Amino acid sequence: MFRVPRDPLYRSISRRRFLELGGGAATALGAGSIAVGLNSVITRRPVYAASSDDAKWKQYAGSKLVFMSENTPPSFAIRDNLKPFYDLTGIEVEILTDDLPVVQQKVGIDLRSGKADFHLNYVQDKPIGAPFADFYADLMRFAGDDTLPQDPEGVADEAWFENFLTACGRMYSGERIIAFPYDCAVACTFYRQDLFEKYSKDFEADHGYRLEFTPDTTWKQLYEFAAFFKKLREAGQDVPYGYAQHHGSFAWTTQLDIQRMLFAHGRWIDFDIDDKLGSKTPGPTNWGDETSVFIMEKFREQAEVCHPDNLANGTLQLNTVYQAGQIAMQVQYHEFAASIEDENTSRAAGGKTAYAACPKGEPSWIKNGGPAVNGCNCGIGGIGINANASEDLQRAAYIFAVWATSRDTQFNVLKGVGGTPTRKSVLDIPEVQAARQRPTSMPNALTFEAVYDIGIRDPNFVLGPKIPEANEYHQIILTEVQKCVSGKQTAEEACLAIKEQVDDLHDL
């Protein structure tokens, strides 16, 4: 049926020889693919200060970079639209995204092991920037380099929203800049305006004031709002629960959740340090003082009127609970507004949600004599360059960092999946200004008044402690706060336990 050659190859090679050849080929292929797969590629064409801008952008054409980032809208948007960058530079960028705790673990291992599998990192100020600050390249070295392309608006403090560059770029001193602000997650209040209007009269009859959110709404009032909704629900009405906190696994969001309440009451902070710059030697913590114990108790009381799954919900789940119409209010990061306004996935979409600044401190709850403010905290996500990478890789990475944080890129991301601009100039674009009112094609812009006009401005802005042991600190707070909220210990015991562990952490 088939023609068999007289002396076919397979007959001239013994089985043993065949296996030897096969094994050798497989080994060579495996080793080759590992070598190719693990290595970045760098090619360079020399440029000079006097070279054209085009030549400066293209000097690393043919190179390949890897960017490890959080699964946030800017990274998704940039990953889906890398073609303009490739066309501009000829550099291929692979963007890997994951949950922030995973990103933190992966970049931590990469940086501390002296490797550079990820040349560019998402440098979230506290969980990544603070512990690994020393492992990032000083971007000012590149910013002053005439042989590299630079952003026409520059990268000085004035180019970004106030405090942003310091928050993610300056760690412990102003000596170095380790990251440029790439995105931001600023806390503000999301609330169901439709329900607030519907039940306002009933609430007013009970409490003597209107059920509404203003910049002067206090944490005490938020508690009363939440208790009101819970009471309605328990009476059999078809209403969501009032409120829920940030718990679950994102330890730093639990820390931020109680911190904004603490800061609102007399601008209390965890350590007596420059909050924006952070400190490697923060000294004794303020946990355990009268303010912290009092507010911890209020936080515990607040939990009692929250959604029943309060302790099981991390930040992402909390947003899903709000999207599902199960709560009427959440203090959430403004990057989530796009998901709330998506009518395909959210029951809170279609004009039902309004946005306000974080609640203000209740004057009668202030114990340290400080002012009542709209304590607002945030995470400024920077883009940083792994200092373990070679000089050329760092330079190529800088080109990407400049492009990724430019005004045009941030504007495109905002128009696309919903970015969170860090450059002031983005807000000056007429389309963005128009988008701050409904109807809007940029849902995140609906939060801009609460976030950029109130939240990030002093005296409301609080960053959270930037200390090398930030992750240990967050874990301690999460553990003790949840033990308190779940009834395992009193507020005072929780605060004293935090103090003991945190001071022990700093050998005090």
Partner 1 sequence: MIRWTSRVKFLFLLPAVLWVLTFTIFPLGYSIYLSFHNVERQVVVSGREQVPVLDAAGNPVLRPDGKPRTRTEVQRELQTTFTWNQFANYARAFRDEQVWNAVRVTGTFVLVGVTTQILLGLALAWLFNRNIVARGFLRSIMILPIFATPIAIGYLFFTIFYEVGGPLSWTGVPWLSNPNWALTSVIIVDIWQWTPFCFLVFLAALQGIPDEMLESARLDTSSEWDLWRYVILPMLLPVIAIVLLLRLAEALKLFDIVATLTKGGPGIATQSYTYYAFNVGFKLNDFGYASAMAFLLLIVVMVIVTLFFRRLRQSYE
Q: Which stretches within 305-364 are classed as H helix?
A: 315-323, 337-340
Looking at 253, 286, 323, 482, which residue binds partner 1 (CB under 8 A)? 482
Query: Which residues, in sequence order, are CB contacts of 230 under 8 Å at separation 6+?
Result: 241, 242, 305
Please report, as residue ranges, which positions from 229 to 248 form the binding site for partner 1 (by CB under 8 A). Answer: 241, 247-248
Give 96 or 387: the residue with its C-beta nearer to partner 1: 387
The three-state secondary structure class of 139 is: helix
Looking at 339, 388, 405, 444, which residue binds partner 1 (CB under 8 A)? 388
Does the footprint of partner 1 cover residue 134 (CB under 8 A)?
yes
Does the footprint of partner 1 cover residue 146 (CB under 8 A)?
yes
Looking at 11, 13, 18, 20, which residue binds partner 1 (CB under 8 A)? 20
Give the interface segment with partner 1, choosing from 184-192, 321-329, 375-383, 458-466 (CB under 8 A).
Answer: 321-329
Strand segments, DSSP code E, in 308-411 are 329-333, 353-356, 376-385
Alpha-carbon gap, residue 115 to 305, rounded angstroms: 48
Shortest distance, position 14 Cβ to partner 1, whole Å: 10
Give 218 or 388: the residue with its C-beta nearer to partner 1: 388
**What are 383's strand-pairing partners?**
122, 180
CA neighbor of 285 nearest in space, from 500, 471, 478: 500
CA neighbor of 244 nearest in space, from 193, 189, 184: 189
CA neighbor of 110 nearest in space, from 92, 79, 139, 136: 136
Shortest distance, position 281 Cβ to partner 1, whole Å: 15
Shortest distance, position 297 Cβ to partner 1, whole Å: 17
Does the footprint of partner 1 cover residue 48 (CB under 8 A)?
yes
Please report, as residue ranges, which positions from 459 to 478 form the binding site for partner 1 (by CB under 8 A). Answer: 471-472, 475, 478
Structural contact between residues 457 and 215, judged by C-beta atoms closer than 8 angstroms? no
Shortest distance, position 146 Cβ to partner 1, whole Å: 5
Shortest distance, position 313 Cβ to partner 1, whole Å: 9
What's the DSSP call for residue 331? E
Give 217 or 279: the residue with its C-beta nearer to partner 1: 279
Give 407 or 499: the residue with its C-beta nearer to partner 1: 499
Looking at 308, 350, 351, 459, which residue binds partner 1 (CB under 8 A)? 308
**Burial of 43 from C-beta contacts in 10 A (0-12 / 13-18 / 19+):** middle
Looking at 232, 456, 485, 491, which residue binds partner 1 (CB under 8 A)? 485
Q: Torsions phi, psi of 70, nearest 5? A: -75, 155
Does the footprint of partner 1 cover residue 280 (CB under 8 A)?
no
Can you spell out the DSSP letters for 190-252?
EEEHHHHHHTHHHHHHHHSS-S---TT-BHHHHHHHHHHHHHHHHTT-S--BSB----TT-HH
Shortest distance, position 373 Cβ to partner 1, whole Å: 29
Alpha-carbon gap, residue 286 to 275, rounded angstroms: 13
Does the footprint of partner 1 cover residue 162 (CB under 8 A)?
no
Which residue ranges make up the site for partner 1 (CB under 8 A)?
16, 19-20, 23, 27, 48-50, 101, 104-105, 108-109, 112-114, 131, 134-135, 146, 241, 247-249, 307-312, 314, 321, 324, 326, 387-388, 471-472, 475, 478-480, 482-483, 485-486, 488
